[in-house]
Structure 1
């Protein structure tokens, strides 16, 4: 069943002898997680965690990270493009594209941090398991795990030859080819595994401003190769190379103020975005070296060495109309190096100590630019509060020519080194009561280099913004360094009422490191001035119950958290300057149930109630946003997944699957404007197929968004700052067929 373990299941909270990444299914619905940096039964862990096995991902055909929202309580992933994404957990959203911001939700792939926005989205191909760990996890994971962690483990080579090929075609000229192969090279010593995917699809939105133009498409190549070297039974070494390249068409940013010719302002009808060069180009690759050494029966050492490079460029139409008014460009180059050493000591099953240290260094070079047509700024253009204004371009003012493109750019380079050390101790008394306690110390050294430039494409001096939209230093960089140090403790207690019924309570402190941000004067040519944004702090309290009965796993968690110095983007400024919001709080509960209901029928269902928002927040204009809900934070979120398989002959089975998802109203910005929100909606995905396990093939026809429900991913965006909010729609109904062959 799809609820099987991600690694060898244990009946007690002990570290398994099975190297991480190898799947050994159990027939009793046992689930093993590593939320405390060691393998434990899900029912024994005093942490709210959802584990999605590779088998579950295959069953529900989950290929992208945005689809994880459908199966995880409290998680909402807004995948508007591979370059820009929003990860929301328990109401808090991580979606900042600034090169100097630190993550609040950590994303780890094979132990390596992938959290920065430009490189966060990746294909989910040949995955062993995914764990979504809710609540502050900085003690054990570090790197900004303020409100949670998304930990992805890929499948590793084994000593048996195997592989698979699959092909998929569908509407909007969808074409998807995937191949996986595993091969032993030296018996029990050396094995390799490779996985590749090429996926392409036309955009789902017509763009009337460009001949045959479409928006919101897919063009992705993904590849991964892993070498496993096992010189002795005590040593396992995995070298993993990952590469992804994306060249999709532009993202839809349709104006909800100005309609295209013959059209309307609905986000769900054709758009007219005038930039022929718009689109995304992104290349992300990385190298991971994962080593595990069993030093003795009680002591093991794990090391993770990583390098990542992400180069991304995005060009977009900021006004979302057929008029050349606002254009946006962002160019990012990210390099990171990391090393973690972890020791696990378990002298007996009732006592475990996990400790270690990490070094992380990143260098991010980023340019974000906006071009403005001052002929419309000084003339007339509709805005959300005056939608009937005529479009008038003023070519001269007081005898002076008016520029058609005033181009403004800010360049910021982030050079950050982070050092940390941590320890976590777990002790069980009387085989029932377990106490966990941990502490991490982190020291960050952050340097920001910043400059701004302004120029006109037509060499006409600007009138409306003579010193630029952001300011102007004539390209001269200055730098500022600051250091941040902090402690992140945690404690939890759990009690086994029965061997498979556990209650727990925990408290944890989470901290998001401080930031060195830059601004410039807009009234004179000047060098950057720096704003030190203080670390944000959260205190999180939670209690829950976990119960495994037969093949089923159930859990219920209640939580409450309180933030101080919450780092947010000011919604009243261009691009939103980073500031501390004062105070915020959230509370709610999460529930899930999964496993085999009857032979052949498996269930995964979840529900989350979240009440989260600002308790003290004034923006730079003095507006009181206290009491507003967080961005992308629905009060209610529920999902139901069913997978059924029934033999019809000795060689053939029929399969069916259903996913039903619902979320209540969400606001897209901190000011909670009614017209920048999405009402509650539900999505239904279905699939029906045939499979022959004996012969290794399966075929499935599917429909996503069966009832063609209209819904939004985002609303506001660049145009919001100019009174021209733009919308990004979710995917419409898409049908297709998949074929897979295992060998």
Structure 2
């Protein structure tokens, strides 16, 4: 691991000196604040400073500057200003967060160097995604449209004490807009290159005076693939085809009770994802990921349906005691079919079919007898059932014949129809079926106490008990009825479809503690320590030398100890923060890069350290700034893969050392009824490796992206904007390796090229 650069110490010294030796005017402000309402108490919306940022990172409303946790909050207004519609776009503005939207079913979330992108049905999340209080973390259902959102909070560091459900390295907490008692709405239409078409509508309507209101949002978004697929006439890869809808009913029978019922539905049918071979070029082409591909599966593509029902209740039991409950159900059904070799040859195919159902309930009590003392406690129940089949088909005629690899790129392509007088199958299809049945129970409490209106101590503890059962079977068959020669018992093994089962229970404690001190009412320093636990897993493997039932291995819970310290400062309309962190992992759960599909294992030890900084607010009237920077040095300190390779010292997958962003949005009146708007975003990340073995050719060098938009808006609520994303048409990769890597045929997925468009919106 590299040491933190000396520049960090210098920046820290300068920042600390600047904060401690503030101007006399700042001290005068502190004196005037004495006797006022304590800054830790959040004022009602109508009394708040319009530049005040309010977060719920500790499961209660607090000013951002008061929370002893590193959190980035993006309001719905800010999302609209910078045209953020997806989680990949969100990550551009958030220090330490990188979202790899490979497809709607397969996405990767990297926070502080740790990546969550495991498609296994038995794996537990390490980064939790909560939408309206309901867990959306499992990969196939994690990515959703960001439409009509009230706010998003990215909370970094272990959050298992207050959030639970695998919040080992952080949380994305999304809260959608709720109905109000005023009629409002909007409609927007967007068109752009690659036949982009996007229409969005939102409507809010009161039904019964101050008692019942409804809100609905809908989006239909479609775009052709940005990659030409020459193997199929008119074929395109990396496209969009999404329908999203949400409806919310709010019932407020009394001033003390608010009940929201939320129904969400999303359906996706995009074309196949690009997996272009970097070894075998298409006819008349090359192996560059940025030129046309030739992927031969006409049935390739994704079909995904996600829907859920959430019941969110808030009850004020007394002036100082409130109850919150979240009841949820989600169902995800997804199928993805892909070309594993990334060539026009029918060599490797991949299929995955998954069905997820989950039920959850959380109850939370908050007691605040005075602004300086809060106790939050509660419990949760979570149950999920996941049925998953992942399969790979291999053409043994190429396996036993000849096919190029990354180590032998000039090897001829030869299909052998017979060997030793025996026919050779053109498709040896191998599938493993795993069902995950898990119930998780937990209880937690967190206490916050402020002394002398300056010093605040927070401490909390959660107990979690998981009951996990894995059912597993495997099967091998030949599509042409010809018995296999190269893999007679299948690629994964073969139980002839007979299931075996194994149950295991895991229990653990996740404590946290933090202390913060107000140098000034709007200047806070803090330090914290937290333990994060990712629950254990019951995984399955099969013999590859005989027909046999699954054997099970227990993957132990991974543990992280996280230490951090930071500074938060609100000055005028600006909010600034700086956080230093260090974490140490034991029993890190990873996919072994040396095995087919990567068996789940405990890597041993890992560590990370770095710092994150952000600054946001209105610099001058009409000009809003949001900027961030993160330095992350994270990787394995003890890791040997199944082949015996020593990967200790390697960086984590998808973990850039440097990540920075700068966003500017400007609005200026042109006439009394007409405004000019402009925005620009600059994003940079340094080199990343796509796999744990850190192979140089499976990496992406540092690159920068620029997005711009310019438009007009009118007093009657209309606006129009022309925009260009990836202005300079930067070529960059989302991933490299994938299924083909295990066969010496790594494949690449490119990022989006330059795309220009026009967007029109009418608010009413």
Q: Which residue of 2 aligns with 1:716?
A: 737
Secondary structure of the residue aligned to 1:675 is: coil
2:611 pairs, out of 583, 589, 593, with 589
Instruction: Indicate conservation of the 8 Å contact 1:308/1:335, yes or no.
Output: yes
Instruction: Indicate conservation of the 8 Å contact 2:312/2:325, yes or no.
Output: yes
Instruction: Indicate conservation of the 8 Å contact 2:38/2:371, yes or no.
Output: no
CA shift at 1:609, angstroms? 0.1
- Cα distance in 2, alignment partners of residues 27 and 269 from structure 1: 52
CA shift at 1:456, angstroms? 0.1
- Cα distance in 2, alignment partners of residues 13 and 191 from structure 1: 32
Q: Which residue of 2 aligns with 1:14?
A: 41
Instruction: Indicate conservation of the 8 Å contact 1:75/1:90, yes or no.
Output: yes
- Cα distance in 1, alignment partners of residues 485 and 39 from structure 2: 72
- CA distances 1:303-352 after superposition (whole Å, capped 9, x unpaired): 00000000000000000000000000000000000000000000001100
Structure 1 stretches of 4+ with a deviation exceeding 2 A read: 10-18, 24-28
Q: How does 1:79-98 map to 2 (within 5 A)?
A: 79-98=101-120
Alpha-carbon distance change, 378 to 16 in structure 1, aligned in 2, over 3 angstroms: farther
Query: Is residue 366 of structure 2 the alignment partner of residue 339 of structure 1?
Result: no
1:477 pairs, out of 478, 482, 499, with 499
Alpha-carbon distance change, 499 to 646 in structure 1, aligned in 2, over 3 angstroms: same
Runs of at least 5 residues in structure 1 that lack an aligned partner in the other structure = 1-9, 19-23
Instruction: Indicate conservation of the 8 Å contact 1:11/1:41, yes or no.
Output: no
Instruction: Indicate conservation of the 8 Å contact 2:261/2:310, yes or no.
Output: yes
- CA distances 1:665-715 after superposition (whole Å, capped 9, x unpaired): 0000000000000000000000000001x2000000000000000000000
Query: Is residue 728 of structure 2 the alignment partner of residue 701 of structure 1?
Result: no
Instruction: Indicate conservation of the 8 Å contact 2:396/2:427, yes or no.
Output: yes
2:705 pairs, out of 666, 683, 690, with 683
Q: Which residue of 2 aligns with 1:7?
A: none
Q: Which residue of 2 aligns with 1:616?
A: 638
CA shift at 1:28, angstroms? 4.1
2:528 pairs, out of 496, 506, 510, with 506
Query: Is residue 147 of structure 2 the alignment partner of residue 149 of structure 1?
Result: no
Q: Which residue of 1 aligns with 2:577?
A: 555
- Cα distance in 2, alignment partners of residues 464 and 114 from structure 1: 41
- Cα distance in 1, alignment partners of residues 40 and 762 from structure 2: 37
CA shift at 1:634, angstroms? 0.2
CA shift at 1:26, angstroms? 5.4
Alpha-carbon distance change, 25 to 127 in structure 1, aligned in 2, over 3 angstroms: farther
Q: How does 1:199-218 map to 2 (within 5 A)?
A: 199-218=221-240
- Cα distance in 2, alignment partners of residues 497 and 11 from structure 1: 14
Q: Which residue of 1 aligns with 2:316?
A: 294
- Cα distance in 2, alignment partners of residues 26 and 540 from structure 1: 33
Query: Is residue 73 of structure 2 the alignment partner of residue 46 of structure 1?
Result: no
Q: Which residue of 2 aligns with 1:414?
A: 436
Secondary structure of the residue aligned to 2:65 is: helix
CA shift at 1:15, angstroms? 6.1
Instruction: Indicate conservation of the 8 Å contact 2:197/2:221, yes or no.
Output: yes
- Cα distance in 1, alignment partners of residues 65 and 659 from structure 2: 23
- CA distances 1:74-122 after superposition (whole Å, capped 9, x unpaired): 0000001000000000000000000000000000000000000000000
- Cα distance in 2, alignment partners of residues 648 and 449 from structure 1: 66
Secondary structure of the residue aligned to 1:47 is: coil
Query: Is residue 131 of structure 2 the alignment partner of residue 117 of structure 1?
Result: no
Q: How does 1:211-250 map to 2 (within 5 A)?
A: 211-250=233-272
Query: Is residue 205 of structure 2 the alignment partner of residue 178 of structure 1?
Result: no
Q: How does 1:519-530 map to 2 (within 5 A)?
A: 519-530=541-552
Instruction: Indicate conservation of the 8 Å contact 2:39/2:521, yes or no.
Output: no
Q: Which residue of 2 aligns with 1:434?
A: 456
CA shift at 1:12, angstroms? 3.1
Secondary structure of the residue aligned to 1:707 is: coil
- Cα distance in 2, alignment partners of residues 285 and 503 from structure 1: 42
Superposition RMSD in Å: 0.9
Instruction: Indicate conservation of the 8 Å contact 2:360/2:383, yes or no.
Output: yes
1:68 pairs, out of 84, 90, 96, with 90
Alpha-carbon distance change, 176 to 11 in structure 1, aligned in 2, over 3 angstroms: farther
CA shift at 1:540, angstroms? 0.1
Instruction: Indicate conservation of the 8 Å contact 2:367/2:375, yes or no.
Output: yes
- CA distances 1:465-506 after superposition (whole Å, capped 9, x unpaired): 000000000000010000000000000000000000000000
Secondary structure of the residue aligned to 1:66 is: helix
- Cα distance in 2, alignment partners of residues 473 and 360 from structure 1: 31
Q: Which residue of 2 aligns with 1:36?
A: 58
- Cα distance in 1, alignment partners of residues 483 and 541 from structure 2: 23
- Cα distance in 1, alignment partners of residues 741 and 39 from structure 2: 54
- Cα distance in 2, alignment partners of residues 407 and 70 from structure 1: 40
Q: Which residue of 2 aligns with 1:392?
A: 414
Query: Is residue 750 of structure 2 the alignment partner of residue 732 of structure 1?
Result: no
Secondary structure of the residue aligned to 2:447 is: strand
2:128 pairs, out of 99, 106, 123, with 106
- CA distances 1:185-210 after superposition (whole Å, capped 9, x unpaired): 00100000000000000000000000
Secondary structure of the residue aligned to 2:446 is: strand
Secondary structure of the residue aligned to 2:466 is: strand
Instruction: Indicate conservation of the 8 Å contact 1:16/1:39, yes or no.
Output: no
Q: Which residue of 2 aligns with 1:276?
A: 298
Secondary structure of the residue aligned to 1:445 is: strand
CA shift at 1:14, angstroms? 3.4
Runs of at least 5 residues in structure 2 that lack an aligned partner in the other structure = 1-36
Query: Is residue 544 of structure 2 the alignment partner of residue 490 of structure 1?
Result: no
Alpha-carbon distance change, 26 to 296 in structure 1, aligned in 2, over 3 angstroms: closer
Instruction: Indicate conservation of the 8 Å contact 2:185/2:202, yes or no.
Output: yes
Secondary structure of the residue aligned to 1:67 is: helix
CA shift at 1:69, angstroms? 1.3
Instruction: Indicate conservation of the 8 Å contact 2:384/2:437, yes or no.
Output: yes
Q: Which residue of 2 aligns with 1:367?
A: 389
1:632 pairs, out of 648, 651, 654, with 654
- Cα distance in 1, alignment partners of residues 232 and 38 from structure 2: 61
Secondary structure of the residue aligned to 2:161 is: helix
- Cα distance in 1, alignment partners of residues 80 and 264 from structure 2: 20
Instruction: Indicate conservation of the 8 Å contact 2:159/2:167, yes or no.
Output: yes
- Cα distance in 2, alignment partners of residues 515 and 66 from structure 1: 28
Alpha-carbon distance change, 25 to 314 in structure 1, aligned in 2, over 3 angstroms: farther
Instruction: Indicate conservation of the 8 Å contact 1:642/1:658, yes or no.
Output: yes
Q: Which residue of 1 aligns with 2:402?
A: 380
Instruction: Indicate conservation of the 8 Å contact 2:38/2:453, yes or no.
Output: no
Q: Which residue of 1 aligns with 2:155?
A: 133
Instruction: Indicate conservation of the 8 Å contact 1:12/1:40, yes or no.
Output: no
- Cα distance in 1, alignment partners of residues 47 and 154 from structure 2: 20
- Cα distance in 2, alignment partners of residues 453 and 416 from structure 1: 24
- CA distances 1:376-409 after superposition (whole Å, capped 9, x unpaired): 0000000000000000000000000000000000
- Cα distance in 2, alignment partners of residues 481 and 566 from structure 1: 21
Q: Which residue of 2 aligns with 1:190?
A: 212
